[in-house]
Amino acid sequence: MDIADWRKKIDEIDRKLVELLNQRAHAAREIGRLKKNTNLPIYEPERERIVFANVQEVNQGPLPGRDLAQIYERIMDVMRKLQKDEIVPASKSATASDTELDSDVND
pLDDT tens for residues 72-92? Answer: 999 999 999 999 987 776 654
Rounded Cα distance, 64 and 83, in Å: 29
Average pLDDT score over residue span 55-76: 97
Report the pLDDT value the prediction gives residue 94, as an integer from 0 to 100. 42
Give the residue among 75, 74, 88 at the shortest CA–CA distance from 42: 88
**pTM surpassing 0.85?**
no
Report the pLDDT value the prediction gives residue 99, as an integer from 0 to 100. 52
Rounded Cα distance, 51 and 73, in Å: 10
Q: How confident is the model at residue 21 (pLDDT cuts 50, 70, 90)?
A: very high
